[in-house]
Structure 1
Amino acid sequence: MTSSFSPEVFDFLKRLKQNNEREWFNEHKKEFKTIEKDVKSAYNTLFELLKTHDDVDHLKLFRIYRDVRFSKNKAPYKTHFGGSFRRTKPELRGGYYLHLAPNNESFIATGFWEPNKEDLLRMRREFEMDASMMRNIISEPKFKSVWGELQGDELKSAPRDFNKEDPAIDLIRKKQYIFTKTFTDKEVLSKDFLENVNIAFQAVRPYFDYMSEVLTTNLNGESII
């Protein structure tokens, strides 16, 4: 497989960070369009790799333009590329994300970033009833060697109608259930980067299979789709 991304991608993003203004960007618009085309091609390659082992139906490459309406930071452009890959709903849940940024700040993420209130409650009730399956999956040595520890924002105490002394309170308190993996610039620019990302995403499958079953059934194990 050819190199995933060219060094020019990081070079442009570094210069954009130093010159984050519309005049400079417009002067370099042609260069940006060339780089964006190459980035889209690489994300599409990863999309096809994901399809070899999962049912993904949508790739979204986020625009470089920032929404500054409600932000104190008025810089008009992002200094990274980001793209998400959606699993086919309603049967399958979860998704994949690739974040591309210079200075060793690239990463991939997977899991449940902003579950809606119904899904979040269903997860918490599952852990309240029995968290053993979840713990077995995320503590499995091969899984952990790739993804490390479960991450995500959490409440300081128990959610409403949950016991703060519950043995699974560490899982119940969470508002997000995500995993991330970081990469150096050298790793991103290596010829096997996309394949390595795909292998990492493939390793998360037991977690997704479990969560998809939870979110498509009630507490009695009956299908709700």
Structure 2
Amino acid sequence: MFSKATFKFLDELAANNDRGWFEANKPRYEELVREPALDFIAAMGDPLAKFAPHFRAEPKKMGGSLMRVFRDTRFARDKSPYKTNIGIQFRHELGKDVHAPGFYMHIASDECFFGAGCWHPEADMLGHIRDLITANPKRWFAVRDDKKFAAHWALAGDSLTRPPRGYAAEHPAIDDLKRKDFIGLASLSAAEVTGSGLVKLATERFAAATPLMKFLCEAQGVQY
């Protein structure tokens, strides 16, 4: 699916991040980025259906699991028009944006990784997660410290410096209640991205994140 040429294209795009270069090299983008990504997404459909049946692998050029190559530059100082990474997200069937619970794969020359969870959840969603942790700290600790999950995944993301308003500073899970993101990251090498076992590896890593994803789905009142 992906190859060393995929990474070479991303490097070249980073060095020539303008519309003229991209349009001239769009056939290479299709061959080296979009087509391999859509092949990977399609191959993940059956595995996801087995362990996460309410999450969708949608191999569509636009509006599916492959994230847009175009950057949102409206409020950014960097006005470069194109992303220099490949982002693939398998969202919950009820999720409409990147903030919903989902599985994620990131491919870039400087870093590749798997992700799972809720990134920058909206205020109501974040409150539901915190409330479930507050009411069931032992369950949360069992999720966070699950051996299969912890073997490859680590919680990451932004956190508050002080306890969130309305939550006791002495709560046993206060460090996790400060989180603004509830995401896990798992390492992924460039060799694994270009290897023949990527689908199998992604399936194993995402399945190991099941405890976290079930907890987050429960907090949102949706089926895992």
TM-score (norm 1): 0.85
Partners of 1:54 and 1:24 lie apart in 2 by: 40
How far, CA to CA, are the matches of 2:126 and 2:192 in structure 1?
35
Residues 64, 78 of structure 1: 8 Å contact kept: yes
Q: Distance in 1 between matches of 2:12 and 2:56?
A: 34
Letter in structure 1 aligned against 2:161? K
Alignment of 1:27-38 (within 5 A): 27-35=24-32, 36-38=34-36
Query: 1:165 — aligned with what?
Result: 170
Rg larger in 1 or in 2? 1
Report how many residues are paired: 210
Quick one: higher RCO (CA 8 Å, sep 6+), 1 or 2? 1
CA distance in 2, matches of 1:57, 1:187: 23
Identity %: 29
Aligned 8 A contact 1:54 1:87 in 2: no
List gaps (5 residues or longer) in structure 2: 59-64
Q: Partner letter of residue 141 of structure 2?
A: R
2:69 to 64, 69, 77: 64
Residue aligning to 2:47 = 49
- 1:78, distance to aligned residue in structure 2 (A): 1.0
SS at 1:165 equivalent: coil
Aligned partners of 1:47 and 1:85 also within 8 Å: no
**AA partner of residue 105 (structure 2):** L
Distance 1:67-1:94 versus aligned 2 partners, 3 A rule:
closer
Contact 1:112/1:177 (<8 A) preserved: yes
- The one of 40, 44, 57 equivalent to 2:38 is 40
Q: 1:28/1:214 Cα in 2 relative to 1: closer, same or farther (>3 Å)?
A: closer
- Matches of 1:165 and 1:153, distance apart in 2: 20
Q: Report runs of 4+ in structure 1 exceeding 6 Å deviation.
A: none
SS in 1 for 2:185: strand
Distance 1:160 1:82, change over 3 A: same
Partner of 1:222: none
Contact 1:187–1:193 (Cα < 8 Å) also in 2: yes
